[in-house]
Amino acid sequence: MLPDYIILTWLAWIAVYDIKHYLIRNIDLLVVLLLLTPNIKFSYKYALLNISIYLTINLLVKGKIGAGDVKLSFICGLLISSYFQLFNALSVTWIIGGFYAIFFRQSAVAFAPFMIFGTYLARIF
């Protein structure tokens, strides 16, 4: 099994790239998915629930959330191991992302850093 810090490093790269270019590349998501493949501890039900939540939000706000964020939500869901962690990850993600959007009023917000931070914070606690 790959050490968690290798996966976290690649997710950090995705976050930095998203901050600079407002884009989450499919190749980066594919690499993380391949890195997660040897890890058989994850459950698809949390990943499917997470992507369905983001997809529903994406449809409700008519595409204001990028497709890369929706795809990243599936990968973040693979890292979650309970409904409690999923709730905490979503809560932290949207609260911190919301505060950032309010205080740093920008036309676009790179959401990947908040999703990754929320997921890993939920995993720690």
Provide the domain limits for residue 108.
Answer: 4-124
How many other C-beta atoms lie within 10 A of the C-beta of residue 22? Answer: 16
Both tokens of 24, joined, read: 């989450």
pTM over 0.85: yes
Tokens of 98: 């919301």
What are the DSSP calls for 58-105, one per residue?
HHHTTS-S-HHHHHHHHHHHHT--SHHHHHHHHHHHHHHHHHHHHHT-
List the chain pLDDT tens, one digit each, 125 residues: 567 888 899 999 999 999 999 999 999 999 999 988 876 666 789 999 999 999 999 999 988 899 999 999 999 999 999 999 999 999 999 999 999 999 998 888 999 999 999 999 999 98
Structural domain total, the chain:
1
- Compute the distance between CA of residue 101 and CA of residue 52 in angstroms, rounded to an integer: 23
